[in-house]
């Protein structure tokens, strides 16, 4: 394999570390190493391609800078994405845009439970404004084909039926039920509030950022045609991966 790897490396141009980085990127893109998989160790890469440890480390650094892998001393390299780091841009002009943007991301529910009015400010608002019990669903939103967390999403739902309550408390069905609750045909108004905050240790761990790092906060209130509060959604976005855009026109 060493001779084959060396022959493959000799096909390229430029420094060996760039040639090796290109080969590894092509292999990741083709699916040889999927998202979440471990790359060969530095020693294995050195032996395969007959290059120095310095060349291998520099090639891996190139991949890390592009957001394709994460490197940890003693743990090797893990694939994070199949394409170089691209900021996720959310450009929303209408309620329909707001409700359909999730198609470009995936949601992983990690917690679902009923909470009282004293749990936090958001559950209190549901109890006071909607006059209903509140179910809290916590999720991580990821870009498609990417292992990096895009956002930590806490949704507080005003529960209005036993079926809805049951579906929300099941982590396997909670995301689907939230989508059904904020269906475009049911929502009349969404109030939005944007700010930057310094994230706490627990949330930072889930977002894979440093504690006290600034993140993009979006708070949304969903109302139906009768003016009833249906959902409060609190999202913390990784500022390194996310851009929010809008277009303003003369009225």
pLDDT (tens digit, 9 = 90+) per residue, 41-58? 999 999 999 999 999 999
Residue 18: φ, ψ to 5°? -70, -40
Residue 218: φ, ψ to 5°? -125, 125
The answer to whether 206 touches 183, Cβ cutoff 8 Å, is no
Q: Which residue stretches of the chain have pLDDT < 70?
A: 1-7, 85-104, 246-251
Beta strands in the chain, from DSSP E residues, in sequence order:
69-72, 76-79, 88-91, 105-115, 134-143, 151-158, 187-198, 214-224, 229-237, 242-245
Q: How far apart are CA 141 and CA 25, in angstroms?
A: 25
Q: How far apart are CA 240 and CA 58, in angstroms?
A: 23
Residue 86 C-alpha from the chain's centroid = 12
Annotated domain spans of the chain: 2-79, 88-245
Strand partners, 71: 77
- The pLDDT value recorded for residue 235 is 95
Q: How far apart are CA 185 and CA 205, in angstroms?
A: 36
- The pLDDT value recorded for residue 99 is 54
Which overall architecture, per CATH, does domain 88-245 show? 3-Layer(aba) Sandwich (3.40)
Instruction: Report residue 208 as tokens.
Output: 């894979």
Which overall architecture, per CATH, does domain 2-79 show? Orthogonal Bundle (1.10)
pLDDT tens for each residue of 142-191: 887 777 899 999 999 999 999 999 999 999 999 999 989 988 888 899 99
Residue 148 C-alpha from the chain's centroid = 6
């Amino acid at each position: 394999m060493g001779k084959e790897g060396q022959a493959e490396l000799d096909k390229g141009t430029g420094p060996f570390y760039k040639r090796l980085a290109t080969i590894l990127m092509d292999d990741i893109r083709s699916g040889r190493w999927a998202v979440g998989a471990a790359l060969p160790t530095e020693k294995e890469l050195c032996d395969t391609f007959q290059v120095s440890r310095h060349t291998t480390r520099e090639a891996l650094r190139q991949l890390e800078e592009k957001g394709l892998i994460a490197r940890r001393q003693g743990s090797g390299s893990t694939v994070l994405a199949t394409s170089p780091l691209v900021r996720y841009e959310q450009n929303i002009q209408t309620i329909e845009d707001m409700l359909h943007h999730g198609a470009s991301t995936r949601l992983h529910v990690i917690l679902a439970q009923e909470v009282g009015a004293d749990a936090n400010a958001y559950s209190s608002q549901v109890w006071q404004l909607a006059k209903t019990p509140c179910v809290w669903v916590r999720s991580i939103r990821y870009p498609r084909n990417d292992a990096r967390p895009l956002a930590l999403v806490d949704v507080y739902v005003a529960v209005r039926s036993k079926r809805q309550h049951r579906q929300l408390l099941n982590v396997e069905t909670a995301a689907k039920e939230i989508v059904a609750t904020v269906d475009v045909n049911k929502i009349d108004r969404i109030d939005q509030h944007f700010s930057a905050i310094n994230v706490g240790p627990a949330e930072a761990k889930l977002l894979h950022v440093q504690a006290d790092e600034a993140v993009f906060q979006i708070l949304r209130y969903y109302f139906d045609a009768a003016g009833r509060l249906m959902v409060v959604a609190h999202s913390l976005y990784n500022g390194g991966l996310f851009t929010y855009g809008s277009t303003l026109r003369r009225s």
